[in-house]
A and B are shown apart, each in its own frame.
Chain A
Amino acid sequence: MSSQGEPKKRRGSAFTELLSIFLHLDHRLPVLEASAFLFFSGVLLFSSVSNGGASSAFSYMAGPGGLSLTSLILVVLILKNLASGWGNDFEKGTMQTFLTYPLSRGKAFLARLVSSLFVPLGLMTLAQFSVIFLIAPGFALARFGSLLLGFLTSLTTPLLVAALVVLAVLWAKSGGVPFALGLVAYFMMLIFLAFLFSVGSSGGYHYVVWAVFFLNPVYAFSSYFNNQTGMFGYNTPVPTYAQAVELLAANLLLSLALLAVGALLFVKRTEA
């Protein structure tokens, strides 16, 4: 539209610019992210975890039954982004504006996903590990494998819930109800799996226990670290280390598969 001094046009990246818009919208006030960093510092300073072994390193990261601080903050952060970001895009019609830009629907979906899901994951990783390396560098180096495993395991439930909420937001084309359902689903999943695990263990239903191991690999690693004697005194199956890692990978793959379904649903739901 410039009438004088035509600006020189170069090749632009619609994906990068759209991502920068989403990042601006989702992370303009990084209160939760900053709080997470402070929380992690406090927890580590006032705990004796840095004197423990591999099991305590894992437990510190993964939390009891998967209810860790990382997991909780992530769920709130991701659900907030999904509800106020994606939900608003659909409810207020901004999504239509974004879809007039020169990029495919798949890339638009990916830009949204990176901003609302993968950036919080990255920020949590940064906060969690930078705190450990700053406060207890010796422990962090010695137990890095267990810490990483614990951290990845702590992501499983938030990721699964997030993937389900992505599907719900796309299906409903709104954010409010999926946000509430996501929070309820998160806590219900933790409670329900704990219940299922105790029923499976006490009743000798090994397939139920394995299902719980798959849906929340914290149980698989806890069984492994609790020295193969079975939890709660029951004769529960105990996975090997390799099996626990496989269960963790399978769980993460399930979330990724659900997100891939989300990409297809996104295309479908933006057709009409």
Chain B
Amino acid sequence: MKVIESRGLGKGFSKVVALDGLSFGVESGAITGLIGPNGAGKTTAIKIMLGLLRPDEGSVLVFGERPWGNARIAERVGAVLEKPHFPFGMKVEDYLTRIARMHGYPPSKALDDLRRVGLDQARDRRIGKLSAGMLQKFALVHALINEPELVVADEPTSNLDPQVRNEVLGLIVSLNKERGTTFLISSHLLPELSRVCDTAVIISEGRMVGSGNLQDLYRSFGAEVVRVSTDSPGALAEAIRSLAYVVSVEVSGENLVVETNREAAEGQLYLDIPRLAAQVHARLYGIESKNASLEELFRKAVSSDQGKGGKAA
């Protein structure tokens, strides 16, 4: 079941087109990554899903309803905005207590939730006095106080040190497993998303250029990457580049990192490389498949979109 369904979403600001027919869906119970570079339209898409912006074109349904001006949706959705802004003069527990009551929970829930993320020590501190990491955790607790079915988080780990980043990601994974909370997480920090996401939606210049299960995406974009060790990297690299299905060959010391396109039959590379090595009299030390990173996947998805006539430069 899809909790978010976006169809042909368009939004512009003055002369800038932020979203240009964005269509995608988010499955219930999944952790979905919304991937794209800065300016791809991630924040705009998220704000539309949260009912903060009204789309110019297309539609988005959250739990089957339009989110704009819809208070019912807000009861079921938790929001972590890109830059968390709260009344900084208010105390942590005081503010969270009011938000808990707003959703019909007793005030004690605020402290319980603060305790869970280790913020109970800061309960009497003013929100404005929290460190960046604490503020991000507070933003997450704030989004989860109403035990939402869906959490939409815009760059929830940006500007955090690795330790806090791990804590935040760990919290997301544990909530997803414990309560089946659906997460849509936007980020341009791809390595961290690949650690927690089941599925991904790749957007570029306001359009979706790929979506689905991460493994399927790796497969569909043919991001087959092979590491080759040899005593003649230069000559072998030159020979491999002549193969039609090879996209790039990077030389790093005695290693070559070979990336192929989607048409490549997985086994073909393992036949061609030894043949070429023999032709150029290069000794092979090893060939190993290297799983493409989410970053490589993203790059491939965007370049594939451009190949289809996408407007990305």
Contact = CB atoms under 8 A, between A and B. Distances in A.
A270 B53 CA distance: 7
A21 B89 CA distance: 11
Contacts of B84: 97
Interface string B18-61: 00000000000000000000000000000100111110000000
Contact of A101 (B47, B74, B83, B90): B74
Interface of A: 1-3, 7-14, 17-18, 20-21, 24-25, 28, 92-94, 96-97, 99-105, 267, 270-272
Contacts, number: 98
Contacts of A272: 13, 53-54
B250 interface: no
The 10 closest A-B CB pairs, nearest first, are A12-B104, A93-B85, A102-B74, A17-B102, A100-B79, A102-B71, A10-B104, A1-B144, A9-B104, A7-B109
B5 interface: no
A190 to B, nearest CB: 33
Contacts of A104: 69, 71
A28 B89 contact: yes
Interface of B: 13, 47, 50-54, 69, 71-72, 74-75, 77, 79, 81, 83-90, 94-95, 98-99, 101-106, 108-109, 112-113, 116, 141, 144-145, 147, 175, 178
B147 A24 contact: no
B104 A97 contact: no
6 contacts: A1-B113, A13-B102, A21-B87, A94-B85, A96-B52, A102-B74
Contact of A7 (B88, B90, B94, B106): B106
Given A92-B85, A100-B52, A272-B53, A21 B98 contact: yes
Given A14-B102, A102-B71, 19 more contacts: A7-B112, A9-B103, A9-B104, A10-B105, A12-B104, A17-B98, A17-B102, A24-B90, A25-B89, A25-B90, A28-B89, A94-B86, A96-B81, A100-B79, A101-B102, A104-B69, A272-B13, A272-B53, A272-B54
Nearest to B174: A3
A12 B105 contact: yes
Given A8-B106, A21-B87, A105-B69, A100 B13 contact: no
A99 B69 CA distance: 9
Contacts of B89: 25, 28
A159 to B, nearest CB: 26
Contacts of A12: 101-105
A171 B18 CA distance: 23
Contacts of B50: 100
Contacts of A102: 71-72, 74-75, 102-103
Which of A1, A28, A101, A270: most chain B CB closer than 10 A?
Answer: A1
Contacts of B75: 102
Contact of B109 (A2, A96, A103, A270): A2
A7 to B, nearest CB: 5
Contacts of A9: 103-105
A1 B89 CA distance: 25
B66 to A, nearest CB: 14
B116 A3 contact: yes
A92 B83 CA distance: 10
